[in-house]
Structure 1
Amino acid sequence: MVHGVAFGDAMGAPVEKLTAAEIRERYGRVTSLRTAWHRDGQDEDQRKGRVRGNGITTDDTAMTLSLMRIYGAERRHLDAWDMASGMVREIAWESRWVPELQRKAPLIERLFYPEKWIFQRLQLAGCDPRQGGVGNMVNCGATMYIAPVGAANACNPAAAYDEAINFASGHQQSYGLEAAGVLAAAVAQAFVPGTTLDEVVRTAHDVAHDGTRTAIAEIVAAAEELARKGADADEVTDEFHRVIAPFSPMGDDVVHGPDKAGAASAAYQPSRLLSIEELPLALGFCITARGDFRQAVVDGINSGRDTDSIGVMAGAILGAMHGSSVIDAEDAALIDSANRLNLAADAGHFTEAVLDILFEDTARAADIIAQRETLITKSERSAAE
């Protein structure tokens, strides 16, 4: 799962914010981590002092690793207060190597405004953690790093959804929060031994609400028809963008600037009719790729727009479902070296924390079953009397 997040992120990062047509014109088709960033050659101000390409990951992976460390420290299920303490600490008060900045820094120096909101709202404003997401720009920011919640609730999608909603309510609201719950549930289902992609997708649809549920249903229907027809990647992308348009305010122009201060920015406000587009699209590309890990990620990041987050979501789901078979040794080595990481070690430490949580859950469930059996026996005896 962790490799899937980092791989999807690093694959999508060089072409993020380009349209599908621009990717085709500039690259033909991106199929390798060894891809130059489309902004290479621009001056430092235009690049905002950042570098990308050739395996470098973004804030999607950095925040996923932050969430894994919070689980490692707490070794229990999380809630909004852990967003206010653990995630604030991770993004604002800890300095780590930030690959895009090529230096050690607090992660908040790299984050986009909706993710900086975590610090501004929960520490500077000091609000109730459960209300932390209220007022934030609705986007995919909570969903892009939420996969570890699915692992901490492996094989229990309903619990994963609930915990993701509880935790991420300190960051996001409305359909941005809803998508985080849905992705966590999908990842939890992906860990079920012998599960199928159909079951994972059905779980995502069934736990979802409002516009998110409708968007998933429509993308899934389109994906199944496209897969049946054997549509090529460009046809899939065009149809997905047509289907998702009524639910997503994003469109092809994903650059935020002063020209978006009016009606366009209002599109990112709470709504029961809208959906982030990254999650339904990721599910759709999993379907058209027939569950193939690499193809789903490659197709997703070549569709343009928020490419890294689409790659992260498809990679997390299929990584969890297929296991270590998705890990290509050369890709893993490049990701580690480009980002000064040891993802296998990070995943190992996280797994230890997850196993502690799962063992405790299992013991608690056994106690509840025993207590209920006693209660039922007493109730039956009382009724008989």
Structure 2
Amino acid sequence: MTPKPTLEDRITGSLVGAAVGDALGGAVEGYTPDQIAERHGGRVTGIVGPWNGDDWRTARPIAPYHKGDGHVTDDTLMTHALIRVYDTVRDHLDAYAVADHLVPDLISTPRWIPELETEALPLQRIFLAEKWLVTRLHYGHVDPREAGTGNVVNCGAAMYMAPVGLVNAANPAAAYTEALEVTAPHQSSYGREAAGVFAAAVAAACLPGATPATVVDTAIALAKDGTRSAIEAVAEVASHHTDFESALRPLREAVTPFDTVGPDYRSPSLGARRPSRLHAIEELPIALGMLLVGEGDYRRTVLGAVNYGRDCDSIATMAGAIAGALHGEAAVPADWAKQVAEASRLDLHAPAAVLADVTHEIFMRDTARRRAHERVFVALSPAPGVLR
């Protein structure tokens, strides 16, 4: 029998799995499944080169980013930045930790940016929805707990929440709550809700005996409003498929009523990305749907996410993080991980080792705090049957 993955193994599998999914999806981000198949002569089955080949520096609409060839995108850059915040704080995070530590990290320390093939401030690569953090917190001095209000509502707040789920491994409700707090400076509405649910899904995947179905059930139980409805709709459709090829169109049709972007991903509708209790980001429900279609197998799950197109780097990031947490690092194809690490010039294991160490430290802090509360509670109410 295959040994059950340890916590450290699940953390490594989740973070490496997220980065690999990000790199695979980045090469075909923004296109439809039909366009992807036409460009690559069939479905993408591994790491591929830039959509426009050697013209990536100038070709629109994504210049000057070298997407493809195993380069991670801002999803992974933001994930690693959040891990650095955990490494500094060594405890659960809140909105003020984002203001005090994440924002300075984005604007003060040059780092290797794979898509730019140079060292630069992370601020120079992250998307407008993430630049909002710097604008509102560093320049606007807005209350961190309220700063996310007014930002575009997209997957930006959710895409880097895997570390929150891992710090709260096997405690999905706590992961959900912490992610909502961490993303308060970033977004509101269903973008922030998706962040909480994604973190909860990663935490649920760490439970012994977890399956794709139990992960999705946990997500549905915690999700609110349109996010919950979107996951339910996608999950119901996904339950009828075990091959992503047949699922591509049905999953898109299932999420369409909840998606504000519209049919043309690069030309969002006038109602796109505005707060709503009725809508949801597309990425999280589809990631969970592909997890079900792929039956938790990392390769099948991530390739389904990649070939779905649209915002498929973020979809594959989320799907890869959950599948990696379910099964550990061995589930992530080693050749993919090696190529992504080398091409991106990143040590994909170092952040995982840091987060595993911090996670154990936080657990010990939580245990001490809980026991202290128990002692005080018993002193306040020494009733029969209360633990002493």
The verdict on a shared fold, with TM-score over 0.5 as the criterion, is: yes
Letter paired with 2:45: T
State the match for 1:317 in structure 2.
Answer: 322
State whether structure 2 residue 111 is matched by structure 1 residue 96. yes
State the match for 2:182 in structure 1.
Answer: 167
Equivalent runs, 1:21-100 vs 2, <5 Å:
21-27=34-40, 28-33=42-47, 35-42=48-55, 44-46=57-59, 47-100=62-115
Contact 1:133 / 1:169 at 8 angstroms: preserved in 2? yes
Distance (Å, rounded) in 2 between the aligned partners of 1:113 and 1:324: 32
State the match for 2:10 in structure 1.
Answer: none
Contact 2:167 / 2:355 at 8 angstroms: preserved in 1? no
- One of 244, 251, 259 as aligned partner of 2:262: 251
Contact 2:299 / 2:333 at 8 angstroms: preserved in 1? no
Q: How far did 1:108 drift?
A: 1.2
- One of 15, 18, 35 as aligned partner of 1:5: 18
Letter paired with 2:351: D
Contact 1:252 / 1:305 at 8 angstroms: preserved in 2? no
Distance (Å, rounded) in 2 between the aligned partners of 1:251 and 1:334: 34
Give deviations 1:48-99, integer Å, cap 9, x for gaps: 2221212110000000000011001110000111111211112121210000
Cα distance, 1:43–1:197 mapped onto 2, change above 3 Å = closer
Distance (Å, rounded) in 1 between the aligned partners of 2:278 and 2:55: 39
Equivalent runs, 1:146-165 vs 2, <5 Å:
146-165=161-180
Give deviations 1:107-151, integer Å, cap 9, x for gaps: 111111111101011111110001111000000001110110001
State whether structure 2 residue 310 is matched by structure 1 residue 305. yes
State the match for 1:337 in structure 2.
Answer: 342
Q: How far did 1:252 drift?
A: 3.9
Contact 1:133 / 1:172 at 8 angstroms: preserved in 2? yes
Identical positions, percent? 43
State the match for 2:359 in structure 1.
Answer: 354
Secondary structure in 2 matching 1:315? helix
Distance (Å, rounded) in 1 between the aligned partners of 2:332 and 2:257: 36
State the match for 1:239 in structure 2.
Answer: 250
Equivalent runs, 1:256-275 vs 2, <5 Å:
264-275=269-280
Q: How far did 1:266 drift?
A: 3.0
Q: How far did 1:365 drift?
A: 2.2
Distance (Å, rounded) in 1 between the aligned partners of 2:127 and 2:147: 16
Give deviations 1:2-49, integer Å, cap 9, x for gaps: 11110110110100001111011111111112x011122436333422
Q: Which runs of 5+ in 2 are unaligned?
A: 1-13
Secondary structure in 2 matching 1:335? helix
Contact 2:306 / 2:313 at 8 angstroms: preserved in 1? yes
Distance (Å, rounded) in 1 between the aligned partners of 2:109 and 2:56: 29
State the match for 2:8 in structure 1.
Answer: none
Give deviations 1:299-344, integer Å, cap 9, x for gaps: 1110110010010000111111111222333222211111111111
Secondary structure in 1 matching 2:159? helix
Q: How far did 1:250 drift?
A: 2.4
Q: How far did 1:234 drift?
A: 3.0
Q: Which has the higher helix share?
A: 1
Q: Which runs of 5+ in 1 are unaligned?
A: none
Letter paired with 1:342: D
Q: How far did 1:206 drift?
A: 0.6
Secondary structure in 2 matching 1:70? helix
Please, which moves more after superposition, 326-335 or 217-226? Answer: 326-335
Please, which moves more after superposition, 38-47 or 315-324? Answer: 38-47
RMSD between superposed Cα atoms in Å: 1.6
Q: How far did 1:364 drift?
A: 2.0
Letter paired with 2:207: V
State whether structure 2 residue 120 is matched by structure 1 residue 105. yes
Give deviations 1:228-252, integer Å, cap 9, x for gaps: xxxx433201001111111002234
Letter paired with 1:225: H
Distance (Å, rounded) in 1 between the aligned partners of 2:110 and 2:56: 26
State the match for 2:284 in structure 1.
Answer: 279
Give deviations 1:177-233, integer Å, cap 9, x for gaps: 000000001111111122222211111111100000000111111111234xxxx43
Letter paired with 1:16: E
Contact 2:56 / 2:65 at 8 angstroms: preserved in 1? no
Secondary structure in 2 matching 1:194? coil
Distance (Å, rounded) in 2 between the aligned partners of 1:162 and 1:265: 31
Distance (Å, rounded) in 2 between the aligned partners of 1:251 and 1:42: 28
Secondary structure in 2 matching 1:134? coil
Contact 2:244 / 2:290 at 8 angstroms: preserved in 1? no
Give deviations 1:266-295, integer Å, cap 9, x for gaps: 321100000001000000000011111110
Secondary structure in 1 matching 2:350? helix
Q: How far did 1:347 drift?
A: 1.0
Letter paired with 2:69: N
Secondary structure in 2 matching 1:144? coil
Q: How far did 1:374 drift?
A: 4.5
Contact 1:83 / 1:171 at 8 angstroms: preserved in 2? no
Contact 2:244 / 2:294 at 8 angstroms: preserved in 1? no
Secondary structure in 2 matching 1:104? strand
State whether structure 2 residue 326 is matched by structure 1 residue 327. no
Equivalent runs, 1:159-198 vs 2, <5 Å:
159-198=174-213
Contact 2:153 / 2:273 at 8 angstroms: preserved in 1? yes
